[in-house]
Structure 1
Amino acid sequence: MNELKLLREWDADAPPLTDAARARARFRLHQAMREPAAPTTIGRRPLLRVAVAAVAAATVTATVVVAQNAGSSPRTQPVSAATVLRGAAAEERRLEKPIAPRDDQFIYTKEIIKETPVGGGPTKTYVDESWNSVDGSKKSYVSELGYTQWVPVFQPGQTTVPPSKWSELKQLPTDPAKLPIALRDLFGRADYDRPMKADDWPMVQSHLSGLLRKAVLPKGLRSAAYEALATVPGIKLLPGRTDADGRPGLGIQYVGPPGTPWADGGAVLVFDAKTYQYLGMRDQRRAGGTTYEQWSTLAANAVVDRVMQRP
């Protein structure tokens, strides 16, 4: 495939990348330069707010206040980031409703994003609705911070990182021990006998995060991603966080090694402090010299038959 032709065809009207997105792109380019050429090419589909989920250099334990029963005094108990993520996996398995979309259908999502300037100012709320083709054979219609665009169909040999085609997602293992290796070896045969190395983890955690940002996944894959994320070297727990609606929660953040885009910490995944159910994400965005505190949550998702159809 002619990469220069693809570059010329890129949508010039698309909004500029954030600083974090540029850093991630540079890091991916650096990593790609270190690897042998792969037979599969990456598609030029837009990466809309790819989550940089969360975790750091050693499992951190924090003391969290937990209420016992009504009228009783609160008690404290040690809770680790791994405990929260494994609890989120258990909650996902309890609530999961497996689906099997057809290749000709679309995944509908409705996401609420709230942004407030860090230095003070009014909060702006965006309602982003998107329709993503299940197998990439049809044009998708996506929205990010109110900016909407049509996404072209996949060309032969194109894919995304992490995978977005349902057929590719179904090929990923639901064994939490195997999933990181499969994501590490996305463009070849997964070598489950080759152990993970320290420099494998930054991008693997990013791929796991990308999976968790997807509204719909094959049965067992989301819970496996939570449990796999719990094994990433270095998990940072942030007590006392809130979601977009002010509900109390626990944050999980990845702080990567020096020299990576996550050295100063990535986005924060927020989980319910009692049930460990995922509530949403907190992040920062820079635009026009202004830094915004950003909260996002998934309000609805469904499988539909056509673009603009709502459940």
Structure 2
Amino acid sequence: MNELEFVKELDAEAPPLTDAVRARARFRLYQAMRAPAVAPTVVRRRPLLRVAVATVAAATVITTVVVAENTGPPPRTRTVSAATVLRGAAAEERRLERPIAPRDDQFLYTKEIIEETPVGGGRTRTYVDESWNSVDGSKKSYVSELGHTQWVPPDKPGQRSWPPRRWSQLKQLPTEPDRLSIALRDVTGKPDYGRPMKADDWPQVHTFLSGLLRAPVLPKGLRPAAFEALATVPGVKVLPGRTDVDGRAGVGIQYVGPPGTPWADGEQVLIFDAKTYQYLGMRDQRKGKRAATTYEQWSYVAAHGVVDRVGQRP
């Protein structure tokens, strides 16, 4: 669900909300739902739930599916958990990733393919979104979402976004899964790596992990760490029998939050190759104008790289 879809209708000519904006809005809504009925300037801390991160992680993912392996007659099956898929995806990402070291004056180029089909049937539309984001945020970026293109002004002093637009901010994030989860829990301040995770921390951690995984280009080791961190989030489950846009057999991973939260009905589904666990893309839903139409959406990154100017391709 997209709680802020109606905001788009305030200006029909405005570009659609980005996933980063939606993620922040959902988290703020969730925080507001949990907040006590006191003056907004009052900040209250909850008692610390004294359980180790490792203990939480060990009990998080229990959903399993049986996946067929057509390695020869007769086909054999094996039990697969969400943790197995995500840790396999991390291993595959480490095998395939090619580290980059962009200069501050360069741009990160991404080409994302998005296919949308109305729920219940209708014409499928394909969008090819190419974007050029300033590495250090000091230059204008040129971004596209669902065919809507716009120039984004340079970052203002102190301006922050999620996922971080500046490469230097991404490089500061830990590449150890447990430390990454804590850093995202404490994203607004200095991470307290000595304080264990508690149950109420995980929805926020998932929100920021999900946003991070949607970033097309990340520093070496960060995406594998994000996959492994996601494997420890309570509520992550595996969905069998999913396919990518080309019909390849896949396994889905979805987060379902606690009742009463904005994620109780489930989030987008990450699709991984059923055999190698390589990440293939994402399935999601989007509401159209005035919520009259719901679209099934498939998206994946077709190309990315580092270039010297807007309009240049690797």
Aligned-pair CA distance for 1:152: 1.1
After superposition, residues 117-132 of structure 1 pair within 5 angstroms as 117-132=118-133
Opposite residue 63 of structure 1, the aligned amino acid is: V
Sort the Cα spacing of 1:257 and 1:24 in 2 relative to 1 into closer, same or farther, 3 A.
farther
- Give CA deviations for 1:152-199 in whole Å, capped at 9, x if unaligned: 111001111232211111111111111000011112110011111111
Q: Does 1:293 align with 2:296?
A: yes
CA distance in structure 2 between the partners assigned to 1:58 and 1:102 by the alignment: 40
TM-score normalised according to structure 1 size: 0.85
Q: TM-score, normalised by structure 2?
A: 0.84
Q: Which runs of 5+ in 1 are unaligned?
A: 1-10, 39-56
Instruction: State yes or no: 1:68 paired with 2:71.
Output: yes
Task: Specify the alignment match of 1:41 in structure 2.
Answer: none
- Give the corresponding residue for 1:15: 15
Q: Which amino acid aligns with 1:104?
A: D
- Inter-CA distance 26–236: structure 2 relative to 1 (3 Å threshold): closer
In structure 2, the residue matched to 1:195 is 196
1:274: which partner in 2? 275
Q: Distance in 2 between matches of 1:75 and 1:95?
A: 27
Please tell me the residue identity of whatever aligns with 2:28.
R
Structure 1 pair 230–37 and aligned structure 2 pair: CA distance change class (3 A)? farther
1:15, 1:225 → 2: CA distance? 29
Conservation of the 8 A alpha-carbon contact between 2:67 and 2:79? yes
Percent identity (aligned): 74
Which position in structure 2 is the counterpart of 1:306?
Answer: 309
- Whether the 8 Å contact between 1:106 and 1:133 is mirrored in structure 2 is yes
Compute the displacement of 1:259 (Å). 2.1
Give 1:203's aligned amino acid. Q
Contact 1:59 1:235 in 2 (8 A): no
Which ranges in structure 2 are unaligned for 5 or more consecutive residues?
Answer: 1-10, 44-59
Deviations 1:19-46 (A, max 9, x none): 99768615425527959899xxxxxxxx
Relative distance call for 1:37 and 1:166 in structure 2 (3 A) is farther
* Count of paired positions: 283
Q: Render the CA deviation track for 1:262-284: whole Å, top value 9, x for unaligned.
A: 11001000000000000000000
Q: 1:44 — aligned with what?
A: none
Matches within 5 A, 1:127-276: 127-276=128-277
Paired residue type of 1:126? Y
For 2:20 and 2:156, the matched residues in 1 are separated by 28
Q: Distance in 2 between matches of 1:18 and 1:118?
A: 21
Question: What CA distance in whole angstroms lies between the structure 1 residues aligned with 2:149 and 2:241?
Answer: 34
Residue 178 of structure 1 aligns to a residue whose secondary structure is helix
**Structure 1 residues 19 and 279: CA distance shift in structure 2, 3 A:** closer
Q: Report SS of the residue matched to 1:129.
A: strand
Kindly report structure 1 stretches of 4+ aligned residues shifted beyond 4 Å.
16-24, 32-38
How far, CA to CA, are the matches of 1:13 and 1:150 in structure 2? 15
Instruction: Write the distance in 2 (CA, Å) between the matches of 1:145 and 1:222.
Output: 24
Which amino acid is the alignment partner of residue 148 of structure 1?
A: T
CA distance in 2, matches of 1:103, 1:20: 22
Pick closer, same or farther for the CA change 1:175–1:235 going to 2, 3 Å.
same
